[in-house]
Structure 1
Amino acid sequence: MKTLWICIWLFLLMPALAFAGQTAEPAAETDTVKTGWWVVGMEASNNSSFFGRNTAKRYPYAAPNLTYIHHTGIWASASAYQLFGTEDFIDQADLSVGYSFKVRKRLEVDLSYTHFIFGKNTPLVNASTTDALSARTAYDWKYLYTALTNSYIIGSGNDVFTVLENSRYVPLNPLWQGNLPVGLDPKISVTAGTQHFSETHTTTTTQKKKGSGGGSTGSGPIGGILDPLNPGGSKGPSDGGTTEETTTTTTTTNVSRFRVLNYDLKIPVVVYYGNFEFEPSWRYSIPVNKLEGDESKAQSFYTLSVKYTF
């Protein structure tokens, strides 16, 4: 396991080595056409969540990230999540590959595959997952940017999630005529997905049985109605008449339903400074249709993301 983490950290250090090599090259060679970009990032948040679900206890985290993007649209990414207050050095690692391309000028598609690796004692709600296949489609309506992401999650129970997002970047620097690009990128999203649970049904049935005694039919010519020993043909408890037997059956079945799981409102501030991108954000998450035992609750998430592209 230690060898795996060493490989991941070496992968994270590759951009620094590449950047050092580029600075040593002659100026004439740096004018060649760029074929790819490296993005080194770090994200920190006051709590973690997975498709709107979270644990009752807050787990702040820090997550370094490294991404390589080729000019053809093929990309690869590695992330490591360190939760504060846990036993594992790395609580989660994500290894992803994907392909982004444009269908039309305003229509973009991104296909990706992610493999999850979790620490032995991680408390994350998604620790039972192993892989994810995702397809994201985004369209720019000029006044609104809409993205639809469909994900198939592989793990102990295979699930399907759909996230619909609507956002619009609003530049703020024209307000003070500044040269530093600053803007807001408010986003509203709805998450839906499958839920696995058990349903219990109770069925009660009543059956009538005829007795074997002779008093049920009587000895008279019309069924004992005129029998002086049994006026009116009434059946006593010992006459062997009809009896009722009640049976109760309880059945438990596993059920899977596709329902809305979460509503999100996110307001990030995006600041560009040269090759750096800073994004402090606030997000309010409202989980709905919770199953028994789900400790998720509506709460605020505060996140800071820093990226450097070269």
Structure 2
Amino acid sequence: MKRIWIWTWLFLLLPAFAFANLQAAETDTTKTNWWVVGVETSNNSSFFGRNTATRYPYIAPTVTYVHHTGIWASATAHQLFGTEDFIDETDLSVGYSFKVRKRLEVDLSYSHFIFGKNTPLVNASTTDALSARTAYDWKYLYTALTGSYIIGSGNDIFTVLENSRYVPLNPLWQGNIPVGLDPKISVTAGTQHFYDTHTTTTTKKTSTGGGTTGSGPIGGILDPLKPGGGNGSNNGGTTTEETTTTTTTTNVSRFRVLNYDLKIPVVVYYGNFEFEPSWRYSIPVNKLEGDESRAQSFYTLSVKYTF
């Protein structure tokens, strides 16, 4: 059974996509808006660090419009190789990017998801998402925190903390084409839903016959038919035990760290084109029972054209 494809990169890529083009646009005051056409392909897909034993490589073209005011809109189509539908998922997003200070940036976005009729995607129950991203440039370190509220049959919250720094490589050979590394370390946390089962066993003792429970007037102490008030002897009675077992199952939601990532992209600019081959190593943690996720490498190529 075909299983998993998720859009972790959606909440990381689209806001960063808008930021990158806004920054590039600031150097050109003659433009009032920008279009960006891009495509991304990878050897496998994941959901906030979660993956399956079966690999699902994909290709995802994207069209983004960015207005000089910071408002942007984007449409992304996802095609998994070897699936029945021509398009497995379509994402429609709108957002607003702005600067609070010179080094502090904020991006707010809303996304709506449309799935193919026969899509194998496990996130097909997801309909919408609200996302907020803040990024601060510490000069030697670039920190971004993204929070996403996923709306669907089960609502979830995910956060991604990312630290990176672009390192230009041109000074090494004095090349004319801008080339650089943009290594990133990120930690993903989110809600996990699972069933928690508790079993409680209780034992109740009951007496019959002569009895030792001390029944009668004033607890049997003054019962003339029971010398000594019936204390200290069974008087021919019997004691039985009744055991009751109760099982309770509850739906539990817990917010925990889900994944650690190391990503090393090589960024190449050529005119209006941007090429970004990258390698990412993902380590899932706090896995629930039945989770097939494992640490593995992802190889991705992204190409963008701005006009």
Question: Compared with structure 1, are the counterparts of its residues 276 and 261 closer, same or farther at alpha carbon in structure 2 (3 Å cutoff)?
Answer: same
Question: Compared with structure 1, are the counterparts of its residues 222 and 279 closer, same or farther at alpha carbon in structure 2 (3 Å cutoff)?
Answer: same
| CA apart distance, 1:301 | 0.5
Query: 1: CA distance between counterparts of 2:99 and 2:68?
Result: 13
Contact 1:62-1:81 within 8 A present in 2 as well: yes
Contact 1:223-1:233 within 8 A present in 2 as well: no
Q: Give the equivalent residue in structure 2 for 1:261.
A: 258
Query: 1: CA distance between counterparts of 2:270 and 2:131?
Result: 31
Q: Give the equivalent residue in structure 1 for 2:210.
A: 214
Scaled by the length of structure 2, the TM-score of the pair is: 0.84
2:178 aligned with 1:181, yes or no? yes
The answer to which of 241-250 and 276-285 deviates more is 241-250
Query: 2: CA distance between counterparts of 1:240 and 1:248?
Result: 27
| CA apart distance, 1:244 | 2.3
Contact 1:202-1:250 within 8 A present in 2 as well: yes
The answer to which of 296-305 and 49-58 deviates more is 49-58
Among residues 32, 35, 40, which one is paired with 1:35 in the alignment? 32
Question: Compared with structure 1, are the counterparts of its residues 224 and 87 closer, same or farther at alpha carbon in structure 2 (3 Å cutoff)?
Answer: closer
| CA apart distance, 1:179 | 1.4
After superposition, residues 141-160 of structure 1 pair within 5 angstroms as: 141-160=138-157
Query: Helix, strand or coil for the counterpart of 2:299?
Result: strand
Query: Helix, strand or coil for the counterpart of 2:46?
Result: coil
Long gaps (5+) in structure 2: 1-27, 215-223
Contact 1:55-1:125 within 8 A present in 2 as well: no
2:299 aligned with 1:302, yes or no? yes
| CA apart distance, 1:250 | 0.6
| CA apart distance, 1:33 | 2.7
Q: Following TM superposition, where does structure 1 have runs of at least 4 consecutive aligned residues deviating by more than 4 angstroms?
A: 215-220
Give the root-mean-square deviation of aligned CA atoms: 1.9
Query: Helix, strand or coil for the counterpart of 1:127?
Result: helix
Query: Helix, strand or coil for the counterpart of 1:157?
Result: coil
2:145 aligned with 1:139, yes or no? no
Among residues 35, 57, 74, which one is paired with 1:60 in the alignment? 57
| CA apart distance, 1:175 | 0.5
Contact 1:184-1:269 within 8 A present in 2 as well: yes
| CA apart distance, 1:245 | 1.7
Q: For 1:89, give the aligned amino acid.
A: F
Contact 1:261-1:289 within 8 A present in 2 as well: yes
Q: How many residues align?
A: 270
Query: 2: CA distance between counterparts of 1:283 and 1:70?
Result: 31
Contact 1:73-1:101 within 8 A present in 2 as well: yes
Query: 2: CA distance between counterparts of 1:214 and 1:162?
Result: 68
Q: Give the equivalent residue in structure 1 for 2:233.
A: 233
Scaled by the length of structure 1, the TM-score of the pair is: 0.83
Q: Give the equivalent residue in structure 2 for 1:6.
A: none
Among residues 288, 292, 298, which one is paired with 1:291 in the alignment? 288
Query: Helix, strand or coil for the counterpart of 2:123?
Result: coil
| CA apart distance, 1:122 | 2.0
| CA apart distance, 1:222 | 1.9
Query: Helix, strand or coil for the counterpart of 1:214?
Result: coil
Select the structure of larger CA radius of gyration: 1
| CA apart distance, 1:292 | 1.9
After superposition, residues 28-107 of structure 1 pair within 5 angstroms as: 33-107=30-104
Query: 2: CA distance between counterparts of 1:102 and 1:45?
Result: 32
Contact 2:190-2:255 within 8 A present in 1 as well: yes
Query: Helix, strand or coil for the counterpart of 1:247?
Result: strand
| CA apart distance, 1:123 | 2.2
Q: Give the equivalent residue in structure 2 for 1:168.
A: 165
Among residues 113, 116, 134, which one is paired with 1:116 in the alignment? 113
After superposition, residues 269-288 of structure 1 pair within 5 angstroms as: 269-288=266-285
Percent identity for Structure 1 against Structure 2? 87
Query: 1: CA distance between counterparts of 2:211 and 2:169?
Result: 97
Query: 2: CA distance between counterparts of 1:246 and 1:192?
Result: 43
Query: Helix, strand or coil for the counterpart of 1:57?
Result: coil
Long gaps (5+) in structure 1: 1-30, 226-231
